[in-house]
Structure 1
């Protein structure tokens, strides 16, 4: 009686889905509402228009997938690390050379930070910072992670 008086209709939807060249119509009724339906479009689709009309509840999901072209990595710096011959078994001396090799119009970089992570069991020796600070472009030397990472702050790097 209530349904007749207020115009009850069973769940039902009509979905119109279209793009520039294709039109699809999906009809969802109370007996098919749990069936997943899908519409696919070509990769050159520029827009999709969805119109829905009905009663009850409906869930619409739109998925879009695309790939990005990966560019070849062009490193800005070339880093060469050499381990100096050991003077004792408990000492590790590293020689780290950094070259700015950016292949653009830039001839020098802005501020740069070089982080050197030491192998486990080694910590940096603060007395060796003097040699690093004697390099003209180096502004500051610091450590982190309980002296297991040495950070060298360069004011700039020039191409040679």
Structure 2
């Protein structure tokens, strides 16, 4: 650290998490060294200030992958009402929020949603306040890219002015099971089993034509040109 970079933060990333970190410092002055570690956990420390539940269902029974609906339900457990509350919904891999359904939430009075924000891979909903009466805020998510083995995603509800008052849940988009409509089976063709063709039937038919052959005597052959109409009804040159 020199006078030129005195006010700049210097950062060093580790590819593997070490068990011990040793920092060697030489010189005069005051510095701050801080170690930050980021990890995923299935167990979340939550307070009892809020209640949070979430459900995910497909919109279509034919294609369960393309569109799903997330239904978070939130409530305040304390007396009266809460401060402004924030609900952060992380998006599953390969999905993005449906903006029309988010605008619909913000325009409804019974949802208590003051506004929403679309950030990187998450949706943030702001509530003016929450009470003991549960409020559900369902909205759609659309699949924009296919991802195999989608892991669990988190949803967090916390007090805007006291973020330590929070509750975190995890949810997962159910395995896609498309109900493909089976094609209509082909109709069975004519069966020739136990059936025979009698050549006598063809012979009898020929005899029948000969028996009634005199009716052709009533027709006459003509050999002359018909007169063609003139004017609008005539042939076009």
So what's the TM-score if we normalise by structure 1?
0.47
Higher helix share: 2
Higher strand share: 1
So what's the TM-score if we normalise by structure 2?
0.33
Q: Which has the larger radius of gyration?
A: 2
Structure with the larger RCO, 1 or 2 (CA within 8 Å, 6+ apart):
2
